[in-house]
Amino acid sequence: MADEPTGALDQKTSKEIMEILNKLHKEGKTVIIVTHDPFVADYCDRIIQLEDGKVVSDTSKAV
C-alpha cells in the first residue's frame, strides 16, 4: 500500500518509483496506491474515485 508515493519527489524519481511499483504488480503482487496526482493514477490499471467517502467511479484499463 502506498499513500501518495511520489508526493514530495522530483519528476525523475517519481517515474522511477512508479516503475518499481508497476514491476511489482507485473510480478503478481497487489499494489494499492492512494493519490491525487493524475500522473500517478495514469500508471494504474484500475482507478476507484471517492468523494465524501463514497465510490463515484470505478474504471479499469484494458490490459
Is the pLDDT at 33 greater than 90? The verdict is: yes
Q: Grid coordinates standing for 56?
A: 463515484
Domain count along the chain: 1
CATH number of residue 19's parent domain = 3.40.50.300
**Which residues are 48's β-sheet partners?**
58
The parent domain of residue 25 ranges over 2-60
pLDDT of residue 63: 62
pLDDT of residue 4: 95
Average pLDDT on 44-57 reads 95
Which is nearest to 4 in space by CA: 35, 31, 30? 35
Average pLDDT on 35-45 reads 93
Tell whether pTM > 0.85: no
